[in-house]
Structure 1
Amino acid sequence: MLEKNIVIPVDAQDMLTETESMAQTGILVSIDGEVTGVLAISDPVKPGAQEVISILKSMNVRSIMVTGDNWGTASSIASQIGIETVVAEAKPEQKAEKVKELQAEGYAVAMVGDGINDSPALVAADVGMAIGAGTDIAIEAADIVLIKSNLEDVITAIHLSRKTFSRIRLNYIWALGYNILGIPIAAGALFPSTGFRLPPWIAGAAMAASSVSVVCCSLLLKNYERPKKLENLEIGGIQIE
């Protein structure tokens, strides 16, 4: 409007300010060089967003909003869903820079996005999560695609990943336990006092049992089920209510 030398009335400016406070983006409309109206548009908050942010906090996961929207709209949406840190009016490259900044501070960063502007940040993040209903470019750039476009699946992804890592740790414990117990016996640690030697067939069976136990422990992940109710989700032995 300013480039076209169109005068913006005071009441139109007040309307723009009001739209920002209502988490809306105001668009001025002019006809024949005069401002004739103000359009207010907004993206609705995704269902369950507030609950997801709350659970992420319980899981010690810090949530940050990085958006290209103006500060007024971004701040209003963030306050509705419980996000404290907001970066607004960010260009695509600035979103990626924010991700790299967090990584430089030692954080593991997961980026959730659905637009073309989110693609650089999705690539830069340690884990990029694209909304299934988003753009093809965002989906291509992401590591994980939330097919149902449900933000609660972010919780499921984190829950499943932690379950997987717990299995990996358990496998290490099993394998290490077998070796700590078996290797000294096989080396003859008990022979001077008991005269016991580990027969080769027992050593082979122990090695096979070690492999079988690790595989069976990993296969238990096939029985994983998505938590039916997020309020009953158990993370690391802590019940979230």
Structure 2
Amino acid sequence: MSKIVSIFLLYFSVVTFVACNNQEKASAEQNTPSKNNAATPVKVVKNILVFGNSLTAGYGLEPSESYPAQLQNRLDSLKLPYKIVNAGVSGETTSGGNSRLDWVLKNPVDIFILELGGNDGLRGIPATETRKNLQAMIDKVKAKYPEAKIILAGMQVPPSMGKKYADEFRVIYPELAEKNNVELIPFLLENVGGEVKLNQKDGIHPNAIGAKIVAENVWKVLEGLLVKEV
């Protein structure tokens, strides 16, 4: 009988020892960081604010056809951590844009694309007024986000507005870009403006094909400002 008890006690001791070892091992594994569970670095997504009128809003187009949407598609295809914020409002003038800019700048801005002035030109607003408003908007962005990169989208008015006015208007953008040391898209609608087959029936707003060309015009300047790894 004592022999059986001794065997039982020996068996119980072995089982208890193994169980304790397994429990300690499991506890150690739980407390040891797993390589698979290691925290993955989160990429910081930067904001590209496109501030403009109906050209930016994508008037007459599907949302996916607007040039800001096409820029976002290209950024995504290149796996660049940038988010396009489309702040285009149809009919916006530089005066209206200057009035609403403070509200839009409540969210962080890393790259600011200023596309305004076209409606000023079509309405014959004095070039001096357009220049003043564009300068005010550039000043606001620089004051709120000193590190933000700024792109000024150049615009032109049709010859029907008169040569004197057209000439005064055309030089606003390159002169402001040089004065403020910001990037310039010489003419946003380059190779699109005046091309019947690339515009909608109103002859002012690009169609889907024209918008692709506009996106390319912007990309040529924007690409150089992008940080490949953010």
TM-score (norm. length: structure 2): 0.29
Question: Rg larger in 1 or in 2?
Answer: 2
Larger relative contact order (Cα-Cα within 8 Å, sequence gap ≥ 6) = 2
